[in-house]
Amino acid sequence: MNAISVQTITTEDTKETIDGVTVLGNYHINDGYDWMELIGEHGWTVIPGWGCDGWDLGQWPYVMVAGIRDADSIGNLFGMATYCEGDVKTTFYRTKARYWDAITEQAFFNWKNGQAQGPDDLPEAAAEMPSRYRIPPTFQTAAA
């Protein structure tokens, strides 16, 4: 797969099939900063922080989370891509709530595994995180 391609996707939350969506793929050419610039040309934005206090969502340029808000004839479409040293996984969601849940789960994974600086009082599971850790910081929008 190319670093940027147009594909048919299936949304994670509603299982809809949607044609003609810009999908991010693996990027082993340069570094994460170059990836960040490239995806920006296609409407994607790297999300720097998550939770009420904007804790790091990744460890640039090695680990990053990117988002996009798009729409089709049915309504909103939210995309999330995770980047880890060139390996990229892209998922899409119809609802903002499920999109935020996906970002929260990735934030928890990154915080728990030392791939990002997060809050000191993390619970044992992402599902147990308090609501203040499940939102974009008030000073930033998360491609929403």
Q: pLDDT band for position 139 (50/70/90)?
A: low
Tell whether 82 is covered by a domain. Answer: yes
pLDDT tens digits, one per residue of 110-135: 999 999 999 999 999 999 999 999 99
Query: 65-74, pLDDT tens digit by residue?
Result: 999 999 999 9
CA distance 21 to 96: 17
Identify whether 73 is part of a domain: yes
Model pLDDT, residue 138: 75
86 falls within a domain: yes
Query: What is the residue range of 48's domain?
Result: 4-133
Bridge partner list, 114? none
Residue 141 lies in a domain: no
Per-residue pLDDT for 88 more than 90? yes
Task: Return the pLDDT at 82.
Answer: 98
pLDDT above 90: percentage of residues in the chain: 93
- Please state the pTM of the whole predicted model: 0.92
Asked whether residue 138 is assigned to any structural domain, the reply reads no
Question: How many domains does the chain contain in total?
Answer: 1
C-alpha distance from residue 107 to each of 14, 16, 74, 77 (Å): 22, 25, 29, 21
Q: In what order do the strands lie in the sheet with 76-84?
A: 45-46, 63-71, 76-84, 87-93
Which residue in 2, 1, 27 sits closest to 87, CA to CA? 27
CB count within 10 Å of CB 17 equals 8
* Position 100 in a domain: yes
Residue 144's pLDDT band (boundaries 50, 70, 90)? low
pLDDT for 143 beyond 70: no
